[in-house]
């Protein structure tokens, strides 16, 4: 057996990016400017078009970006926000931290928030719901035409959580282009990962961009003039410089490699016990994760088998957000029994998928999946 095939391989990434990273760090050091300077604004300008938006506002992380997006859109304590029970906990935590009340509907069989359920919920109680916060899960895009129609028909703001899906497309449109605000994460495992934490909120509306810039910086409108109760959540100059020099210029290439590996998995993993997700015909995924679904009673056994063959795996996600103990401390609404999401939480296994996997490693993952009985 060779070395372990990792879910993410930051050492291999370092071999590729260290020169531009050192250059970026040197430039920031020599500039003498460490917070909210040119590096952040240059990065914001380069980032916005990835989401089909005019403006990007760099923040400390995606959770803060989501909380501030809700605040910028005028969500007040007690307002209901429709979202998915099956995502990173941060999606819901942002709603709770903004004072909102999360309302959960079920997912479809691929783990994405079920847009039929979203529409049903809005039909029944749209006067109560003040925003919709869908997630483009696993790097697969939701149907943007439907999201746009929901936003227009109910005149309700959509905030797209694009943390796992930068660059994913529905037909010719990028995820993030339809919501009034879209958010993303530069957490190191994400497709556009920094060397630490970071996030951003994107919008086409100048007044929202102004509010977001203020909210990330203590709610200042001008120095020492606080018009909003903001927080401290600025993207670092250092992280922005690293993203500018070392990561963003490689994003298209890294995404293409992810897609190549995922396509090989989708094509070659053939085992009646392993269900693989197929993208919708109009979808171009960016394959942030590669989820497969196995019978729940055999999931541990499957993961142990992979581990013993030198293949790391993970579960995204082992439980539903409304079932987390922390949720006992806040109000929320279950608008629909999340039974499909619960089934996925019991059966999902994520296979290694990152741009630095070698072809022989991809082949090994496929072979061991196909050999599992
Ligand atoms: C990672 C992730 C987040 C949180 O991002 P942070 O930058 O760590 O706050 C939110 N939503 C989704 C879907 C994520 O995958």
Establish whether residue 88 lines the binding site of ligand 1, counting it when its CB lies within 6 angstroms of any ligand atom.
Answer: yes
Q: At what angle do helices 359-370 and 251-268 cross, to 10 degrees?
A: 30
Atom of ligand 1 nearest to the CA of 136: 13
What is the separation, in whole angstroms, between the first and last Cα of the chain? 20
Which single residue is written with the structure tokens 């339809």?
A: 178
Same domain, 109 and 235: yes
Distance 161 CA to ligand 1 centre (A): 8
Indicate whether residue 50 lines ligand 1 (CB < 6 A). no
CB 163 within 8 A of CB 184: yes
Do 237 and 255 lie in one domain? The reply is no
Tell me, yes or no, whether 1 lies in a domain.
no
Which of 191, 215, 249 terminates a domain? The answer is: 249
- Report which of 270, 304, 283 is spatially closest to residue 146, judged by C-alpha positions: 283
5 is a domain residue: no
> Measuring from atom 6 of ligand 1, which residue has the nearest CA?
62
What integer pLDDT is reported at residue 125 of this predicted model? 81
44 Cα: distance to centroid of ligand 1 (angstroms): 18
Are residues 89 and 183 located together in one domain of the fold? yes
317 with 232, same domain: the answer is: no
61 lines ligand 1 (CB under 6 A): yes
| Ligand 1 atom index nearest CA of 87 | 13
Question: What pLDDT is attached to residue 126?
Answer: 64
Where the chain has pLDDT below 70, the residues are 1-2, 126
Give the global pTM. Answer: 0.98
- Is 318 in the same domain as 184? no
Residue 3: the pLDDT is 86
Cα of 343 from ligand 1 centre, angstroms: 22
Residue 263 and residue 367 in one domain: yes
Atom of ligand 1 nearest to the CA of 137: 13
**pLDDT for the residue 2:** 59
160 lines ligand 1 (CB under 6 A): no
Relative to beta strand 80-83, strand 333-334 is unpaired
Q: Which residue among 65, 91, 185 has the greatest number of ligand 1 atoms within 8 angstroms of its CB, and so is best to mutate?
A: 185
Answer yes or no: is 3 within a domain: no
Asked if residue 101 and residue 75 are part of one domain, the reply reads yes
| Cα-based angle 344, 283, 103 (whole degrees, multiple of 5) | 45
- Does 113 sit in the ligand 1 pocket, CB within 6 Å? no
The pLDDT value recorded for residue 133 is 98
Instruction: Give the count of domains, the chain.
Output: 2
Q: Cis (ω within 30 of 0) for the bond into 317?
A: yes
User: Domain range spanning residue 351?
Assistant: 251-371
Q: Is 135 in the pocket of ligand 1 (CB under 6 A)?
A: yes
Within-domain flag for 361: yes
Q: What is the pLDDT of residue 306?
A: 98
From CA 279, how far away is CA 146, in angstroms rounded? 17
What does the block give as tokens for 349?
């296994």
Do 211 and 329 lie in one domain? The reply is: no
């Amino acid at each position: 057996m060779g070395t372990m095939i990792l879910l993410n391989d930051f050492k291999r990434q370092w071999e590729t990016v260290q020169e531009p990273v050192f250059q970026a760090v040197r430039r920031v050091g020599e500039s003498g400017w460490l917070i909210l300077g040119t590096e952040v604004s240059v990065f914001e300008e380069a980032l916005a078009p990835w989401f089909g938006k005019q403006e990007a506002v760099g923040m400390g992380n995606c959770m803060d970006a989501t909380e501030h997006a809700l605040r910028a859109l005028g969500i007040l304590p007690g307002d209901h926000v429709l979202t998915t029970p099956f995502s990173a906990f941060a999606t819901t935590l942002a709603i709770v931290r903004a004072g909102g009340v999360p309302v959960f509907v079920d997912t479809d069989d691929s783990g994405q928030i079920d847009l039929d359920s979203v529409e049903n919920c809005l039909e029944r109680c749209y006067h109560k719901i003040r925003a919709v916060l869908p997630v483009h899960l696993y790097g697969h895009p939701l149907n943007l035409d439907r999201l746009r129609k929901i936003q227009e028909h109910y005149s309700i703001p959509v905030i797209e959580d694009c943390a796992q899906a930068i660059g994913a497309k529905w037909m010719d449109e990028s995820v993030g282009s339809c919501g009034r605000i879209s958010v993303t994460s530069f957490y190191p495992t994400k497709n556009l990962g920094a060397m630490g934490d970071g996030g951003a909120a994107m919008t086409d509306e100048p007044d929202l961009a102004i509010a977001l810039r203020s909210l990330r910086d203590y709610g200042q409108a001008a120095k020492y003039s606080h018009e909003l109760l903001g927080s401290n959540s600025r993207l670092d100059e250092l992280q922005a410089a690293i993203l500018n020099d070392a990561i963003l210029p490689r994003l298209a290439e890294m995404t293409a490699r992810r897609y190549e590996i995922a396509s090989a998995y989708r094509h070659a993993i053939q085992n009646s016990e392993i269900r693989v997700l197929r993208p919708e015909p109009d979808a171009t995924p960016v394959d942030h994760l590669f989820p497969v679904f196995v019978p729940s009673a055999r999931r541990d056994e499957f993961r142990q088998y992979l581990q013993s063959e030198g293949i790391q795996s993970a579960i995204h996600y082992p439980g539903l957000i409304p079932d987390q103990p922390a949720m006992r401390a806040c109000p929320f609404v279950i608008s629909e029994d999340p039974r499909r999401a619960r089934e996925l939480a019991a059966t999902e296994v994520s296979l290694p998928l990152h741009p630095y996997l070698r072809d022989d490693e991809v082949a090994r993952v496929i072979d061991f999946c196909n050999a599992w009985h």
